[in-house]
Amino acid sequence: MKNVDKYARGYFMPPVKSLKWTEKEYITEAPTWCSVDLRDGNQALIVPMSLEEKLEYFQLLLEVGFKEIEVGFPAASETEYAFLRTLIEQDLIPEDVTVQVLTQSRDHIIEKTFEALRGANKAVVHLYNSTSVAQREQVFKKSEEEIIEIAVSGAKLLQKYAAETEGNFQFQYSPESFTGTEVEFALEVCNRVLDVWQPTAENKVIINLPATVSMSMPHVYASQIEYMSEHLNYRDHVILSLHPHNDRGTGVADAELGMLAGAQRVEGTLFGNGERTGNVDIVTLAINMFSHGVDPKLHFENIREIISKYEKLTRMTVHQRHPYAGELVFTAFSGSHQDAIAKGMKWREEEDRQHWSVPYLLIDPKDIGREYEGDIIRINSQSGKGGIGYILEQHYGLDLPAKMRESFGYSVKNVSDRQHKELLPNEIYEIFMKEYVNIKSPVEFISYRSTQNENYETSVRIRMNNEEHEFISTGNGKLDAISNVLQTQLDITFKDLVYKEHALEIGSKSNAVSYVGFTGMDGAVYWGSGIDPDIMTSSVKALFSAVNNMITSANLPIEKALSITKN
């Protein structure tokens, strides 16, 4: 690409290496989650939510299980002010839930914020000012000491107005644009604020370190977090929080490594909505933890209902390939993937294992309200025999022999390729019924009678060219006798017959289904299936179906059979 020399790394590594986080394998417990959907997420919408929509979204966040919810910037607009007052005055905030509000370090804004908070049972007041080199030089044109003074004066104002306002308040400070700030300077600002607030075990404060703009690889952010965690004053009384954005597409990785590095709290949004490329996606973070056997303390058991409400209220859509939540993320179209998943699911049923370990599926889709049927395996021209067979078995109870699955797979793929579309289960079933089941032309089976002496003597009635005929033959079984009728009386040659049958438990419990395959006159393998209340009759129908498929596919003349109808 052109202009690569225009760019330089704008982040700052800690003055000493902080790599203890690399020794940890995974996150062992859920952080405190704070949803910022109603502030950071809402301000990023093309059409911000109305008061009524925000109230409905707030209820959604409660249902998911958030105990801390940032509800807005009440000094910024009348809608956000009214929203907070409605929550407080109508007693809509559960006792175990803390609301959070954002404020700049400016006297009149802080005053307005506390006015909106009057009577709040529990609230976090989130103070911020930007500390990065770019903001100091280009926006505020202030020295480091002047930037510190903005933070310190804001911290003092929070104390002043909290003392004058009815309610229960906790303080939070963010050095905005932390990732573009020299780490030593960010530490100094935070410690100066902490010196004002003097946190205690009973009155902890939150220091939030936002990747306002993601500027580095995740391991750098983790090192920055670890350095801050180890050098903050009053550390035992500080809740260290993260607020990653996703500019580099690494928001989830930033948060995960940041938690390994000492963070105890994460601010983010459902599905990653937020400014520019978005905030960190709490859905992905939480279910990532779930996939490691760690309870995230949030409820995504009905992900489709959550998506439906989210899309209605934000007017945004969840991408089909969004981790865990996307419509297609548990779906396999590839034949090899489908085959592995189908075998894995069957193995799991047979082995009854406690722990989930199905190929290609990180978690059990049912744990978040997704269904196997229609979710995991879907069929198009790229699909294989395993997936197609799985669809028939799961939806219709048809357990095809392995080789028949292969033959039928080609039929389905050809239809999908020709029509250039995905095929639904009912369409796959219709193809199977049309091409394999109870085929009656050109040789139609009508009935049979059988008696057993040394062998089975069997008479078979058939119809060809609208005329009925009866033939008699013997064999070591009923199906063998009927097979001999076809071969000796009608001169229809085949060998290596394969046979399978089972009860048809889905749809009609009174039916049986049989499958017959053989090698035909031309060396190709042909298949047929029969469905009938009588298991033996279903087998005969399967044999005739395979014979008819051979005659039709190979365009066989069957002169002897046809001559019978002329005499």
How many Å apart are CA 319 and CA 328, to the nearest integer? 9
For residues 55 and 83, is the Cβ–Cβ distance under 8 A? Answer: yes
Does the pLDDT of residue 128 top 70, yes or no?
A: yes
Give residue 435's identity as a one-letter amino acid code. Answer: E
Q: Tokens 């289960």 correspond to what residue?
A: 425
Joined tokens for residue 408: 């039928």
User: Domain map of the chain by residue range?
Assistant: 31-292, 335-436, 444-564
Burial class (CB in 10 A: 0-12, 13-18, 19+), 163: exposed
* Angle, vertex CA 137, rays to CA 126 and CA 108, nearest 5: 35
Q: Which long-range contacts (CB under 8 A, 24 or more apart) does 400-404 make?
A: 400/515, 401/498, 401/500, 401/515, 401/517, 403/498, 403/517, 403/525, 403/527, 404/515, 404/517, 404/527, 404/529
Cβ-based neighbours of 150, under 8 Å, separated by 6 or more: 105, 129, 142
Residue 56: its pLDDT value, please? 98
Name the least confident of 20-34, 181-195, 478-492: 478-492
Does the pLDDT of residue 218 top 70, yes or no?
A: yes
How many Å apart are CA 283 and CA 324, to the nearest integer? 8
Architecture of domain 31-292: Alpha-Beta Barrel (3.20)
Cβ-based neighbours of 483, under 8 Å, separated by 6 or more: 475, 497, 543
Residue 545: its pLDDT value, please? 97
Q: What is the pLDDT of residues 354-387, one digit of tens each?
A: 899 999 899 999 999 987 656 676 776 677 667 7
Residue 350: its pLDDT value, please? 85
Residue 567: its pLDDT value, please? 40
Does the pLDDT of residue 518 top 60, yes or no?
A: yes
Residue 452: its pLDDT value, please? 80
pLDDT bracket for residue 507 (50, 70, 90): low
pLDDT bracket for residue 135 (50, 70, 90): very high
For residues 465 and 474, is the Cβ–Cβ distance under 8 A? Answer: no
Q: Is 444-564 a domain of CATH 3.30.160.270?
A: yes
For residues 427 and 374, is the Cβ–Cβ distance under 8 A? Answer: no
CA 34 → CA 64, 279, 291, 480, distances in Å? 12, 12, 21, 72
Cβ-based neighbours of 193, under 8 Å, separated by 6 or more: 127, 151, 152, 155, 173, 207
Higher per-residue pLDDT: 407 or 176:
176
How many Å apart are CA 546 and CA 526, to the nearest integer? 6
Joined tokens for residue 178: 């932390």
Residue 105: its pLDDT value, please? 95
Joined tokens for residue 395: 């939806």
Joined tokens for residue 419: 């029509």
